[in-house]
């Protein structure tokens, strides 16, 4: 699959390395320009190119956004419209600045990103620590295989993202719709960065309010 990744830090670069490693065609972008990603790209085995954020959004059949939530207004909005976008971002007010809508739980960071972009949003990869994403993928059936929660309103888009999660060696756990489900695996929930099997995580997210 053609995957554009916006954000080339711990999460974005880890996903790029792992996804290109299993043969996906990947483009990756940061805020400073593709020339600053030469070293990263040269260290990755597989089909990957450094591009601008606009190009990553245009290129991807699926686009991953892995940037600090406080910078979402810098995203290439027009290019993301109607795309399947995976939101790996989290809202941390001390890093991102306070957003009263989020502080008062009137909405969620993912719903805000969807409203901003008009994308078909799936929240995923936000609740796994980047080092686990890098190191803890395991074959299906391995008792040590970890689960990754995802949420979204479009079942087809969620199925595509669930397939990616499986391909990386994790079990997807559907937490539900973007609003209610996303609230089950955002920061300050027990599911956030939990290291659990699919059965354990499924019980946890569906026990949560």
Torsion of CA 128, 133, 137, 141, to 10 degrees: 10
Enumerate the β-bridge partners of residue 3: 26, 62
Shortest reach from residue 182's CB to ligand NAP, in Å: 13
Q: Using CB under 6 A as the criterion, which residues of the chain lie in contact with ligand NAP when the complex forms?
A: 6-12, 29-32, 53, 66-69, 71, 74, 88-90, 126, 129-130
CB nearer to ligand NAP: pick between 29 and 161: 29
Q: Are 84 and 107 in contact (CB under 8 A)?
A: no
Return the percent helix, strand and coil in the chain, to nearest 5: 45, 20, 40
- CB nearer to ligand NAP: give 90 or 156: 90
For ligand NAP, give the closer residue by CB, 90 or 117: 90
- The residue of the chain with the least Cβ separation from ligand NAP equals 9
* Phi-psi domain of 23 (left: phi exceeds 0; alpha: psi -120 through 50; beta: other): left
- Nearest distance from C-beta of residue 193 to ligand NAP, angstroms: 7
The answer to whether 2 and 25 are in contact (CB under 8 A) is: yes
Q: How far is the CB of 88 from ligand NAP (least distance, A)?
A: 5
- Give least dist CB 141 to ligand NAP, A: 25
């Amino acid at each position: 699959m053609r995957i554009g990744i916006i954000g080339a830090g711990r999460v974005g670069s880890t996903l790029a390395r792992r996804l290109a490693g299993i043969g996906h065609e990947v483009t990756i972008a940061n805020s400073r320009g593709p020339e600053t990603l030469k070293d990263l790209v040269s260290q990755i085995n597989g089909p990957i190119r450094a591009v601008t954020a606009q190009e990553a959004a245009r290129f991807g059949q699926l686009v991953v956004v892995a940037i600090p939530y406080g910078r979402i207004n810098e995203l290439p909005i027009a290019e993301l419209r109607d795309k399947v976008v995976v939101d790996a971002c989290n809202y941390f007010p001390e890093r991102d600045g306070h957003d009263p809508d989020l502080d008062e739980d009137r909405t969620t960071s993912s719903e805000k990103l969807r409203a901003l972009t008009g994308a078909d949003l799936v929240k995923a990869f936000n609740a796994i620590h980047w080092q686990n994403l890098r190191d803890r993928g395991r074959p299906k059936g391995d008792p040590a295989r970890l689960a990754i929660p995802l949420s979204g309103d479009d079942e087809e888009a969620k199925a595509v993202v669930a397939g990616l999660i499986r391909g990386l060696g994790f079990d997807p756990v559907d937490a539900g719709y973007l609003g209610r489900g996303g609230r089950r695996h955002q920061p300050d929930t027990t599911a956030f960065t939990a290291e659990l099997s699919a059965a354990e995580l499924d019980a946890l997210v569906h026990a949560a309010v």
